[in-house]
Amino acid sequence: MPAPLPAPNCIRSAVVMNLGDFGDVLNIFHTRWSTDGPYDSTQLNAVSTLVATAFGAHFAPLLSTDLGLSRCDSRDLSVAMGGDGTYSYAGGSTGSIAQPSLPANVALVVSWKEFTSYRGGHPRTYLSGIPRTTQADPQHINTTYQGDIQGGATDFIAAIAAASGGGLPGTAELCVVHYHSAHVALNPPSVFAILRASVNTRLDSQRRRLGA
């Protein structure tokens, strides 16, 4: 498969976690910046720090201490063969709820909403490390926890938008990058801002974000 075409102003960040025997549980986010690339290592490290810190502040407090936080890796998408940056969480960083996690293949989905009716796949985040105590029945979490995750996702969007300085390449918005439409490669890719998040109570599968 050929490499994706460059997406101007965009950086991809992957929050890397571990849960049980799985050492490569990923949540992937995209940001669009006010200053276009190519981005240097200082800027990419700063973006990694931002995304990791925002995830740690707004999602990790809602997840089980069984979920370990490893690092955040960022890649420059604005050019072909863009550079990389990273941020490492302090040793022992975990979720904050001291309750056992649901199995590693179970996830709660955050659906990110964009201003388009694109039918090629919409952005989602599969959160692992869901505390067992939030489960209402075999298929669902309780509505209180649903609201907590909804609030965390909303605050995550705001944290990305509010960040500036510290080596960052301008200001940013959480976004989605679409590389294809109707099976045709887009040149350049279409980039849409994430406007809000939606969380329902249904439990889903984490298998597509496990590295083992």
Mean pLDDT value across the chain:
92
Residue 207 confidence (pLDDT) above 80: no
Q: What is the pLDDT of residues 141-155, one digit of tens each?
A: 999 999 999 999 999
pLDDT of residue 1: 53
Integer CA distances (angstroms), 164 to 36, 126, 177, in order: 15, 27, 22
pLDDT of residue 212: 38
pLDDT of residue 186: 79
Stretch 86-115: mean pLDDT: 95
Residue 47 confidence (pLDDT) above 60: yes
pLDDT of residue 211: 46
Supply φ then ψ for residue 123, to 5 degrees: -70, 140
Q: What is the pLDDT of residues 160-186, one digit of tens each?
A: 999 999 999 999 999 999 887 767 777
Stretch 54-78: mean pLDDT: 98
Q: Are 63 and 206 in contact (CB under 8 A)?
A: no
**How far is 20 from 80, CA to CA, in rounded Å?**
36
Residue 19 confidence (pLDDT) above 80: yes
The pairing of strands 22-33 and 172-181 is antiparallel
pLDDT of residue 21: 87
Instruction: Please give the residue range of the domain that contains residue 128.
Output: 10-209
Q: What is the CB neighbour count within 10 angstroms for residue 59? A: 24
Does residue 139 belong to any structural domain of this protein?
A: yes
Does residue 164 belong to any structural domain of this protein?
A: yes
Does residue 5 belong to any structural domain of this protein?
A: no
| Confidence at 115, pLDDT banded by 50, 70, 90 | confident
How much of the chain exceeds pLDDT 70, in percent?
Answer: 92
pLDDT of residue 116: 65
Give the number of domains in the chain: 1
Does residue 3 belong to any structural domain of this protein?
A: no
Does residue 157 belong to any structural domain of this protein?
A: yes
Does residue 50 belong to any structural domain of this protein?
A: yes
Q: What is the pLDDT of residues 89-99, one digit of tens each?
A: 999 999 999 99
pLDDT of residue 117: 58
Write out the two tokens for 172.
């940013």
| Confidence at 119, pLDDT banded by 50, 70, 90 | low
| pTM, to two decimals | 0.93
pLDDT of residue 121: 59
Q: At residue 100, what is the residue type?
A: P
